[in-house]
Structure 1
């Protein structure tokens, strides 16, 4: 197998038989590790199929456990993560903010760019969230133009690694009006 494909030890990945899939768990190029999106999917022998169990928080914990195994296989850890993308099933949106506590458990105080994307549904009908990540070794510094709200969140507007590569969070066109987020209906204004 090509040396940029991250090979995960099946003994450390009890959720699925990785030999049955055509995609890799992660790929590295030029020092940048791209981790495949993970759901909480796992093989359930009682049902004889792959399922995602639990609510949004249960599923988020499983996802971060899976991503930890892939990071370890690549010789990295959560301190190397520079960007995350969460795909959230619209039905799970009311509970989504609570996933921040799980992110904090794994990412700690490491600066990370993040994007959350609401989708009508994910590939697995019982999945509430899918998370993909990008990681790289090097000195990470947060980029924040002084926006106070990021002191309370689990991500920053951007991250620069080794003063060379910049990773940004997703942004929406909103404005703060009297402490409330306002989303102008005019696309140009956003």
Structure 2
């Protein structure tokens, strides 16, 4: 097995528990879920669901970048949301980060609760 490399960047929120922002094994990157924490202030960005989703995606972009990857490398995403009624608004922001023709596989799940009372959390798997 390839050795496990921990990915960390100050451009994304620091972990708030016993986990890493991402782990690289061989050519595959597994990210932890990102929520809408501003990495500079560690304050939540919850103005509206679009702004919250953009912060999550920007955090994920920073983690991907730290691993030498981009959204083009993403093969799978998981989106956890509090309210499925927000899906269309979330999707409109999410779609700006991917080319529809080569977009990753994805599942979107409504959940009963998320860390710090946020409305959305996204994790990704990427391959170089």
| TM band (smaller chain) | 0.7 to 0.9
Determine if the alignment matches structure 1 residue 74 to structure 2 residue 70: no
Corresponding residue for 2:113?
A: 121
SS across alignment from 1:66:
helix
Offset, 1:105: 1.1
Corresponding residue for 2:47?
A: 54
RMSD: 2.3
Q: How many aligned positions are there?
A: 125
TM (normalized to structure 2)? 0.85
Report Cα offsets for 1:50-84 as digits up to 9, x if no partner: 43422211110000000000000000000000000
Corresponding residue for 2:30?
A: 34
- Pair 1:133–1:43, CA change in 2 (3 A): closer
TM (normalized to structure 1)? 0.59
Higher relative contact order (CA 8 A, sep 6+): 2
- Pair 1:104–1:30, CA change in 2 (3 A): same
In 2, the alpha carbon distance for the partners of 1:33 and 1:77 equals 11
The structure that has the greater radius of gyration is 1
SS across alignment from 1:63:
helix
In 2, the alpha carbon distance for the partners of 1:121 and 1:130 equals 10
In 2, the alpha carbon distance for the partners of 1:36 and 1:80 equals 16
Unaligned 5+ runs, structure 1: 138-190
- Pair 1:39–1:28, CA change in 2 (3 A): same
CA contact (8 A) 2:72 2:98 kept: yes
Offset, 1:3: 5.7
Please identify which structure carries the higher helix content: 2
